[in-house]
Amino acid sequence: MRTGRTGHGRRPTHRSTCLRVLGRGGAAVAVLLAAGLLLATTATSVDARSVMRGLLDDSWTKVDDAERAKILREMSQRLHVQVLALDLIWASAEPNAPGEYDQAYLDHFRACIDDARRHGIRVVVSVRGTPAWAADTRFAPPNGQPKGPHRYDPVKKSCLDDWERSVGYFVTYFQGRVTWWECWNEPNLWGYLYPQRTASDPKFAARHYMALLKRFYRAVKSVHPGAKVLAGVTAPVGTNDRDRTSPQRFARLLKSFGAARYFDGYSHHPYMPANRTPMIAPEKPPRSPKSTVSLGNIKTLLRVFPKKPFFLTEYGYPTRRSRGWGVGRVSKAIQARYLTRAYKYAARYRQVKMLVWFLWKDINPTGDPNAYTSAFFGLRTVNGQRKPSWYAFARLK
């Protein structure tokens, strides 16, 4: 689970159509057809059920079997969850040396996926987190961080083969259980890939991500051709400096590198930044549209890859402010209204196939709401009480 992410008020703690009209009488027909095509490729009144609904929350993986079954029954039968998103941390799965896997970690991960599948829920798995042995530590740590290695370090060029081998091993290990594989998480933020740019290469992070993506795609498809590879996985904001790259720029750079041939769908996290209050409604454009892609201006990204489906694999509104996520928050009643409106708005775009809500249940492990590990986006409170958003999610149609 991705709690507290750097760059948009968050800190990491560990995701033409051409018409040819012939004949003199074809002009009016061409206009009508063009209008129809425009509607088809932008917004259309599609039922919200056409957008797969999911949850990003790994709390259910950290309880005993009976409690896990209870939570999954709720998700499946009461909330009608179709997709669960999980993080597979490379540094945890292969911590010490190339080829030395933590089998207990992987066994538990597979058992949880099996439990979800038994309840009719499919899974998105994001693979991220550079192990110490693969980390390129040439760069000075960012923002006063201690000397590395860090999980946000780039993968050494000499270890790219190991990255591909490891991804292939994971896909083999899960034997077709995973429907969608995401390559990394929020690589446009320093907390997951640093640096974003160097003195000699202003495109460093995007270029490095491209190298990871090529290997990732090849590894997944060689083992499970039917699995879908999701790329980008971008955070909603970026200031185009050493620490952050805007999602628009990151996507355009990937396109210029020819990335489209290496993924089946593009992934993005269209949060409305929570660094201000009051927070803006889902369908409204963000205050800084040149550096932010929220749900309200998602077309900015859809236009970069117009032929690709989009998967919005992390989204939500907090009902309480926290140090790791910013000062913005909404009331519980407004969270429920915004949830409903978000799914309806996302369903207007045929390219958008999925919207994943963060979280099922609020997180406050230390009891301090100001801790970086706290997050209050859940459908339930920390003590398990249902918020109005729980009922709104259950009523989605």
pLDDT tens digits for range 190-209 = 999 999 999 999 999 999 99
pLDDT for residue 397: 81
* Cα–Cα distance for residue pair 183/262, rounded to 1 Å: 11
Per-domain residue ranges for the chain? 49-394
Structural contact between residues 82 and 53, judged by C-beta atoms closer than 8 angstroms: yes
Tens of pLDDT, residue by residue over 169-197, are: 999 999 999 999 999 999 999 999 999 99
pLDDT for residue 91: 98
Token pair recorded at residue 137: 């530590």
Token pair recorded at residue 253: 């750079």
Share of the chain above pLDDT 70, in %: 88
Of 47-56, 145-154, 336-345, give the range with the top mean pLDDT. Answer: 336-345
Tens of pLDDT, residue by residue over 335-349, are: 999 999 999 999 999
State the burial class of residue 300 (Cβ atoms within 10 Å of its Cβ: 0-12, 13-18, 19+).
buried
State the burial class of residue 238 (Cβ atoms within 10 Å of its Cβ: 0-12, 13-18, 19+).
buried
For residue 29, name the pLDDT band (cuts at 50, 70, 90).
very low
Tens of pLDDT, residue by residue over 278-293, are: 899 999 999 999 999 9
Tens of pLDDT, residue by residue over 304-321, are: 999 999 999 999 999 998
Of 105, 110, 108, nearest to 129 by C-alpha is 105
The average pLDDT across 243-266 equals 98
CATH 3.20.20.80 corresponds to the domain 49-394 = yes
Res 389 pLDDT > 60: yes
H-state helical runs in 74-177 = 90-93, 103-118, 160-174
State the burial class of residue 191 (Cβ atoms within 10 Å of its Cβ: 0-12, 13-18, 19+).
buried
pLDDT for residue 26: 39
* Cα–Cα distance for residue pair 278/281, rounded to 1 Å: 9
The average pLDDT across 130-156 equals 94
Res 8 pLDDT > 80: no
* Cα–Cα distance for residue pair 236/60, rounded to 1 Å: 26
* Cα–Cα distance for residue pair 164/220, rounded to 1 Å: 9
The average pLDDT across 217-245 equals 97
Res 33 pLDDT > 50: no
Bridge-based pairing state of the strands 122-128 and 83-89: parallel
In sign, the C-alpha dihedral spanning 52, 167, 4, 268 is negative
How is 114-132 classified by DSSP, letter by letter?
HHHHHTT-EEEEEEE---G
Of 185, 131, 192, 126, nearest to 163 by C-alpha is 131
Res 83 pLDDT > 60: yes
pLDDT for residue 86: 98
Share of the chain above pLDDT 90, in %: 79
- Which amino acid appears at position 285 of this protein? P
Q: Which residues fall within 8 angstroms of residue 33, CB to CB, at 6 or more apart?
A: 19, 21
Res 6 pLDDT > 50: no
CA 320, 324, 329: angle at the middle one, nearest 5?
Answer: 25
pLDDT for residue 3: 52
Q: Which residues fall within 8 angstroms of residue 286, CB to CB, at 6 or more apart?
A: 236, 272, 273, 280, 292, 293, 294, 296, 297
pLDDT for residue 12: 43
3-state secondary structure of 107: helix
